[in-house]
Amino acid sequence: MVVLPPERPAAPTPLRRPHAAPSAGQPRRPAGAAAVLRAILDHGPVARSTVARLTGLSPAAVSGHSTRFVARGLVAERPQAPGPRGLGRPHIPLEIDTARYVVAGAHIAVAHSTLALMDLRGRVVASDRRPHRGTDPHAVLGGLAARLPRLVEAHAGGRTVLALGVATGQWVDPDAGVIVDHPRLGWRDVAAREVLAASTGLPVHVDSHSRALARAEQLFGAATTRGSAVLLFVGAVVDAAFATAGGVHRGPRSAAGSVAHLPVGPEGPGGPPAEPCACGAPGCLQSEVSEPALVRQAAARGLDVTDFRALLALALAGEPRAVALFRRRALLVGRAVALLLDVFDPEVVVVVEAGTGRLPECLDVMRAEVGARSWVCDDPEGVVLPSSFTGSVLPVAGGAVALGALYADPLGPWPALSAVC
């Protein structure tokens, strides 16, 4: 039987509200609990003594947190294993329990939305992508809420949904739960958290897809992407996130990561003219490399494609003009990556871009451009990396918002967990 939290009476909620000044956010429980759960995620099955060594916490603190996690159903105990040669107390390894809970995630793109379920180890259980029937926020958010029960019924396997995470591009304020400005959708000050919490009865967390994917890399990505990293998202919109020391930088207005207008063109004599940008300047990153820009460029080169997915399919099939467009895109993205490397000097730059993840020659082009332009990067092959979630980026983004909140504050007021404690 599928379990959802008890429904709350629906109350009138505003779809739009003024963007407020930055808030201090919700109070957090002691950071030790998050450190313990993260150590179990990274190293489980793992003994409590090892968790104490990894976190620097006392054995008593680790034991206390672990006991609460087991009671809440976040952590499971493995069968006892004897110590060396049968001496000492038996070890009871701990691991993340994926049998009792899932989170839901929604990614809102310009032309479509993706609804997904993820387990507590960040694995996608199911996803459902559908085109928008218009971009009115009432319709888009209401459609997501209406689709969720069917997805849960079909794929949750009886597990309880802990929370709903919502990710989208452009300017998002996580503390307020508001999509502040998304020009491509025509949205301004959309109170996504209030609307979806009222219609689903779930705790709702909202963030930009770049910050969500940066957090996903920290929690579930390849080992090389878990330190300091810039994540560059290149899709229908272009934005970025900077992650370091286990967190993701937002800025005082939650507006960090606006890189759409980095200058990357024109390409010089013999190259195509720079694409015009809405800001009035030619050669901005988003106007040159976004998905709509590539579709326009494809049409100018005589390719009969109606959308970006069709263009990508042609490139994957080896169509020379389509491949050339993705190679040009990789070159221009490489210029932006070089700028970001020189500004932030991260350990790695993770590029979320279809060509980088699916066409190896595009990654080679990008790395070559970084090597030629960056002042600080002397190892583009080791520094410029594709996403750890190629092929599932959009399903991961929404779920990572919810899981990021859970792993940051696992002893917080999560209604489904509080009911079992």
Tell me which residues of the chain have a pLDDT lower than 50: 1-3, 5-13, 18, 20-28, 87-88, 269
The strand pairing partners of 384, in sequence order, are: 349
CA distance linking residue 138 with residue 408, whole number of Å:
30
In angstroms, the CA 224 to CA 348 distance is 8
Specify the DSSP element, H or E, that contains 204. strand 204-208
pLDDT of res. 266: 64
Per-residue DSSP letter, 2: -
Query: If DSSP codes are grouped into helix, strand and coil, which group holds residue 160?
Result: strand
Q: What is the pLDDT of residues 269-322, one digit of tens each?
A: 455 666 778 887 888 999 999 999 999 999 999 999 989 999 999 999 999 999
Residue type at 366 in one-letter notation: M
Give ∠ CA 109-225-31 in degrees, rounded to 5.
90
**Residue 16: its pLDDT value, please?**
57
What pLDDT score was predicted for residue 24? 39
Please work out, in degrees rounded to the nearest 5, the angle formed at the alpha carbon of residue 183 by the alpha carbons of 179 and 184.
105
The C-alpha atoms of residue 123 and residue 107 are separated, in whole angstroms, by 16
Are 1 and 160 in contact, with CB atoms under 8 Å apart? no
Report d(CA 217, CA 183) in Å as an integer: 27
The per-residue pLDDT for 271 is: 56
Given a contact cutoff of 8 angstroms between Cβ atoms, the answer to whether 156 and 128 are in contact is: no
Name the region of 188 (left: φ>0; alpha: ψ -120 to 50; beta: rest): beta
How much is the pLDDT for 9? 39
For tokens 């809102």, the residue is: 108
The three-class DSSP label of residue 150 is helix
Which residues lie below 8 Å from residue 290, measured CB to CB, with a gap of 6+?
Answer: 234, 235, 236, 237, 238
Contact 122, 392 (CB under 8 A): no
Asked whether the beta carbons of 106 and 398 are under 8 A apart, the reply is yes
